[in-house]
Amino acid sequence: MTEIVKTIEKIAIEIYEAIKTKDTGKVNSQNKSGDVQVKLDVISDEIVEKYLLKVSSVKEIMSEEKEKPVLKSGGKYLVAYDPLDGSSLIDVDLSVGSIFGIYEGGYSGSEIKAAVYVVYGPRVEMVVARDVVELFRLNEKTNEFEFIKELKLKNKGKVLAPGGTQAKWFDFHKKMIDSLFKEGYRLRYSGGMVPDLHQILLKEGGLFSYPATIDKKEGKLRKLFEVFPFAYVYKKAGGGAIDGYKDLLSLDCKDYHETTPCFFGSEYEIKKVLETYKDKKL
């Protein structure tokens, strides 16, 4: 596992360099989820593949940007990753990120063994979730990631990141979000899952939601590359991660690009979601 984390450090440094120097234009292609790809999606994916396939403990890698996994001999870990999440935000100079889920045996929520994400913002930070959740920061003078602190969520926060098209929210979901705002929560939503969830984690509490909507009952965010890794991070940090009804890590995954509604947050907010959704049929 350490070899994979160390390799992700090298990947992050190279992707960060690409973000600063390469063209942010679009390519005329889409990934399996139908996202229009930008050149940096393709470049970042190539960087991840170049490094991860050299790691002896890795058995296969599965990219959000590809239809099928890339296999290699040896190793025991399966690494599912989103090489550059939120890449459409780069041309407006907002933070983006890379997300890695490290699995063993298969790609169900219960088979994830660790998660790593990197935020490319005013600073480059990496969060590693194994038994605990640790924050590292890139020292650009030495090009080394330095340990900063352990991250933990308090019981309740003040930050709300309500995703999804509001015009398509179910009424009961809108009522729940409105009631949290009435309690004094602050809106913090950039449209980048990585910085939005990173903020709540560093502020030690709150709620990120990308719910089922009237037009997309399965939500938008991908289980393997986005949802399971962040569910792992949030649960190890003492918070919760659910689909509205059950623990996200109790879900299986029948298709590599399957999506699910998702809520990540501290205990108080997750409890509120469960109470809101418990008797609702979508």
The answer to whether residue 41 is catalytic is yes
Comparing CB distances to ligand P6P, the nearer of 7 and 98 is 98
Quick check: 192 and 95 in contact, CB under 8 A? yes
Quick check: 118 and 15 in contact, CB under 8 A? yes
Instruction: Name the amino acid, one letter, at 189.
Output: Y
Q: Please state the closest distance from residue 43 (CB atom) to ligand P6P, in A.
A: 17
Residues 40, 52, 78, 84: which is the catalytic one? 84
Q: Does 261 bind ligand P6P (CB under 6 A)?
A: no
**Contacting ligand P6P (CB under 6 A), which of 193, 212, 251, 253?**
193
Q: Please state the closest distance from residue 200 (CB atom) to ligand P6P, in A.
A: 12
Residues 9, 45, 49, 64: which is the catalytic one? 64
Site string for ligand P6P, 65-104 (x = CB under 6 A): --------------------xx------------------
Distance CA 97, CA 196 (A): 10
Contacts for 24-33 with beta carbons within 8 Å, 24 or more apart? 24/90, 24/91, 31/64, 31/65, 31/66, 32/64, 32/66, 32/67, 32/256, 32/257, 33/64, 33/222, 33/257, 33/259
Q: Does 163 bind ligand P6P (CB under 6 A)?
A: yes
∠ Cα 148 193 203 (to 5°): 45
Active site residues: 35, 41, 64-65, 82, 84-85, 226
Q: Which residues contact ligand P6P (rule: CB under 6 A)?
A: 85-86, 163, 191-193, 210, 220
